[in-house]
Chain A
Amino acid sequence: MRRGFWPLAGWLYLGLLAVFSLLPMAWMLITSVKTQFAAIQFPPEWIPSHPTLDAYAELLSPGREIGRVFLRYLLNSLWVSTATTVLGVIVAVPAAYAFSRFRFPGRNLLFYGVLLRNMFPAVVFLMPLFIMMRFLGLVNTQLSLILTYLTFGLPLSIWLLKGFFDNIPIQLEQAARIDGASRFKAFLLVVMPLSSPGIIATAIYSFIQAWNEYVYALTFLNDDAKLTLPVGLQHFFTEYATNWPGLMAASFIMSVPVVAMFLVLQKYFVRALTDGAVKS
């Protein structure tokens, strides 16, 4: 390792950042294995003296009230996020392919129009979308969330995938078509496998976005049984006492799919972001 002031300062800076971002996670984990009494103790216990998995057991047992509610939210979140992801891929892949391969009137206008959506903060669309959903009779349905999340995820997905398709030489498809494949089969057998890192990355991206979204879920849904996790977690705050270990355990469980997915697929994710950007 190189010595000197600047490398040292760099390490120090990165170390501080790491502590800053990891400390809340650590605190979440620590609190989730405490008892309610230990959780509100002051000065706080950094290492719990009586660690317990009670909070997790309670959340994950469908027989108990708190577990029943939590698991319902978890399933709701899984359903909304998965549906958003699957629909997103189904729409983004052909759209990106068309933008990449076909010349049609209004192509650039449409493409930048799609990207334009990303220039505004999501909250700007809250009221217009709510009014639209009411008009369509979709308020208080999970479909309204799925549709909304699609509009958030699609622009980046399409842009990312277009970069991928652009980098696949058109001759590969031409070769496949001459070798006996239809245009669709050439896409399915040659282009899709080569762009799988991009497709996986966009799928993760849509999933995480839908999984974490709070404001729209709060606004569009009012039936308790339909809530997703981010909104549902509020139920752990009550007027008189907050169930801190329960809240933290629930938060931890909620972050597991996202972190796991990212760890397993991060190499695709990084490749997707760089491959699309740099022409080889």
Chain B
Amino acid sequence: MAEVRLANVRKGYGEALAVDDLSLSIADGEFVALVGPSGCGKTTTLNMIAGLLEPDGGDILIDGRRVNDLDPKDRDIAMVFQNYALYPNKSVRKNLAFPLQMRGLARAEIARRVDEAARMLDIGHLLERRPRELSGGQQQRVALGRALVREPKVFLMDEPLSNLDAKLRVQMRSELKRFHQDLKATIVYVTHDQLEAMTMADRMAVMQGGKLQQYDTPERVYAHPANAFVASFVGSPAMNLIPVRVTDGGVAGGGVAGGGWALDLPPELLARARQARGGVLLGIRHGAIRLLPSAAPGTVAAEVLTVEPTGDITFLNLRLGDTDLVASVPPEQLIAAGQRLWLTFDMARLHLFDATSERAL
């Protein structure tokens, strides 16, 4: 296994920069997810690590060695593709054996490793079949097996679960995580699904517009988003972002006001809000909004637009002044559309962003 380091990597397509000055260190044995909306540069980044694309600038190092000019075959990496890319004219056994044959391993050694990978992934009974005779989940395992037999330095995975149905995806998610724990493998995993990144990765690199937005553990990215984009991208439903202006006066000496409502802020938050050049975006996750049946000091009134029970939790779409936001309540709490409620925000979990730069304050 090995560490991977990207230093100031750049890649453009024509005029547009797909990856813009990206620096990223992936430790030995770490599971890192590159996550972001489509077109954010995550797949381009992965393809550059693989050697399928050449960076326009910057360095890519695997285990301390600069690999910019190395062919994919010489980088000692394995890749799992979104469409699995199994060789359709070869049996599963031959698919698994192919990377070993390419490296000139002895026949007995190839057979041993193929059998071992097949046992580990529970695909022993499929070895003589062709890829098209397999279900999506089985193809996925074979693709994983083909990466596994090589015992490569780094595993690269490009949306490997997105062609599976929802139930299988959840199952494969935990299998992949166990696979990582057992192998202590270095994995770079590309996904557009923040939930996959959150659940599996040791660290997640959130990208947008070719730029790295934040690189940290899922817990920290969730709790301390570096900017408004990360705040709205990570977590489902997305964090509520409410444009407000900073006000003076009142009991606390100041607060924020939206269209038709106002709220006092504690001094520490108020000081941060005042750093903003222009307006402020108030960020609050659904779970940090408390709902009261009647008015109390420090609450603001809102109207319930729709109620969405999901079983474990019920989401409420609320109208607060001129903005909409999502809050949640336990399913036992019965609330009807059109009802009036009073909100308080958990001040410890309130986020403030500069409306112009979108940076966290």
- A residues sitting closer than 8 Å to B (CB atoms) are 169, 171-172, 174-183, 185, 190, 193-194
Question: Which B98-124 residues have a C-beta within 8 angstroms of A?
Answer: 98-99, 102-103
Which residues of the other chain, B, contact A169 by a CB distance below 8 angstroms?
A: 83, 85
Please name all residues of chain B whose beta carbon is closer than 8 Å to the beta carbon of A172 when the two chains form the complex: 85, 87-88
Q: Could you say which residues of chain B place their CB within 8 Å of the CB of A185?
A: 102
Asked if A175 and B150 sit within 8 Å, CB to CB, the answer is: no
Q: Which residue of B lies closest to A180 (CB)?
A: B102
* B-to-A contact residues, CB < 8 Å: 50-52, 71-73, 75, 77-79, 81-83, 85, 87-89, 98-99, 102-103, 146, 150, 156
Q: Give Cα A178–Cα B85 distance, bound, in whole angstroms.
A: 12
Q: A175-B81, A177-B52, A178-B79 are in contact. List 11 more A-B contacts (CB 8 A).
A: A171-B85, A172-B87, A177-B71, A177-B72, A178-B52, A178-B72, A178-B75, A178-B77, A179-B146, A180-B103, A181-B102
Query: Interface residues of A: mostly helix, strand, loop or mixed?
Result: helix
* Total A-B residue contacts, Cβ distance less than 8 Å: 59
The answer to whether A179 and B102 touch across the interface, beta carbons within 8 angstroms, is yes
Listed from nearest, the 6 A-B pairs whose CB atoms lie closest are A180-B102, A179-B99, A171-B85, A175-B85, A177-B72, A180-B73
- Whether A190 lies near B87 (C-beta < 8 A) is yes
7 contacts between A and B (CB under 8 A): A174-B72, A175-B81, A177-B72, A178-B51, A179-B98, A179-B99, A179-B150
Residues of chain A within 8 A (CB-CB) of B102 are 176, 179-181, 185
Which B residues lie within 8 Å of A174 (CB)? 50, 52, 72, 79, 81, 85
Task: List the B side residues contacting A175 at CB < 8 Å.
Answer: 79, 81, 85, 87, 146
Residues of chain A within 8 A (CB-CB) of B156 are 178
Contacts of A182 in B (CB 8 A): 71, 73
Closest chain A residue, CB of each to CB of B88 = A194
A contact residues around B88 at 8 Å (CB): 172, 194
A193 to B98, CA, bound (A): 15
Query: CA A178 – CA B103 in complex, angstroms?
Result: 11
